[in-house]
Amino acid sequence: MTARPMPQPKPKGQPWNWPARFWAKVDGGEDWNHERCWLWRASRARDGYGHIRLEGRFRMAHRLAYEFLRDQVPEGMQLDHTCRVKRCVNPWHCEIVTAAENCRRRSRHVRLDRAAA
């Protein structure tokens, strides 16, 4: 059995010491395809989003993955899961939005879910 390849970070000059622990908790499939959800297999917050304890505090798993592989999230901004899967940590499934836009999208998604039921 061969080890699956782990995503490689964009260099940011930050001394990260947590990647192996973090990626061991993610199911990215055999090929880490950007189109597929990478599911968080460890603990989750009450709202269903994955989280991990780093440096004495809990951090959101999807945000860490985004900042590690893509870019920093500006102060006051949030990440919206475009796939609508709370356990997904694939940074290509997240988009930086304002809190108001994230709330609008969430409300729209809930209304669409109820209409389909």
* pTM of the complete model: 0.77
The pLDDT value given to residue 56: 84
Residue spans of alpha helices (H) in the chain: 19-23, 61-69, 99-116
Give the per-residue pLDDT at 9. Answer: 54
The DSSP result for 49-75, as a single string, is -BEEEETTEEEEHHHHHHHHHT-PPPT
Q: Provide the 8-state DSSP code for 7.
A: P
- According to the model, what pLDDT value does residue 107 have? 81
User: For position 5, what pLDDT does the model report?
Assistant: 56
| Separation CA 65–CA 109 (nearest Å) | 23
Q: What local confidence, expressed as pLDDT, does residue 20 receive?
A: 83
Q: What pLDDT sits at residue 21? A: 86
Dist. CA 112–CA 50, nearest whole Å: 24
Report the chain's C-alpha Rg in angstroms.
Answer: 15
Query: What is the pLDDT, as a whole number, of residue 7?
Result: 59
**Low-confidence stretches of the chain (pLDDT beneath 70):** 1-17, 109-117
What is residue 17's predicted lDDT score, i.e. its pLDDT? Answer: 62
How far is residue 115's CA from residue 117's CA, in Å, rounded to a whole number? 6
User: Could you give the C-alpha distances from 68 to 13, 16, 86, 105, in angstroms and in order?
Assistant: 11, 9, 18, 25
